[in-house]
A and B are shown apart, each in its own frame.
Chain A
Amino acid sequence: MIFSLVVRAQNTAPSRAPAGPPPGATSKVADLSGDWAPDPKRGGIGQSLSLSDNGGRQRGKEADIPYLPWAREKTLSERSSTGPDLGFASTTDPQVLYCEPPGVPHIYLWPIKTKLVQTPEAVYILHEYGPFFRVVWLNSKHPEDPDPQWWGHSIGWYENDNTLVVDTIGFNDKTWLDQVGHPHTEQLHLIERYRRVDKNTMELDMTIDDPGAYEKPWNARRNFILSTTGFLRYQQICSVKENQRFFDNLAKPAIKK
Chain B
Amino acid sequence: MNGNCKRTVGILFALAVSLAVARPVLAHHGAAGLYDMSKAVMMKGTITKFEWTNPHNQIHFDVKDDKGNVVQWIVATEPPQVMLERGWTRRSLKEGDQVTVYAFVASNGAPVGNLQRLVLPDGKELSAR
A contact residues vs B (CB 8 Å cutoff): 37, 44-45, 47, 55-56, 81-84, 86-91, 93, 96-99, 109-113, 128, 179, 227-229, 233-240, 242-244, 246-247, 249-251, 253-257
Contact = CB atoms under 8 A, between A and B. Distances in A.
B17 A234 contact: no
Which residue, of A86, A93, A99, has the highest number of chain B Cβ atoms within 10 A?
A86
A97 B10 contact: yes
How many residues of B sit at the interface, in one of the four size bands? 35 or more
Contacts of A257: 108
A243 B16 contact: yes
Contacts of A235: 81
B15 A250 contact: yes
Given A81-B14, A240-B9, A244-B8, A256 B54 contact: no
A236 B83 CA distance: 12
Give chain B's interface secondary structure class: helix
Which residue, of A56, A88, A242, A256, has the highest number of chain B Cβ atoms within 10 A?
A88
Contact of B58 (A86, A93, A246): A246
Given A111-B21, A229-B84, A253 B14 contact: no
B41 to A, nearest CB: 14
Nearest to A82: B22
B81 A87 contact: no
19 contacts: A55-B25, A81-B13, A82-B22, A83-B22, A86-B18, A86-B22, A86-B29, A86-B32, A89-B11, A91-B11, A96-B17, A109-B21, A111-B79, A238-B54, A244-B9, A246-B56, A247-B9, A254-B31, A257-B108
B54 A242 contact: yes
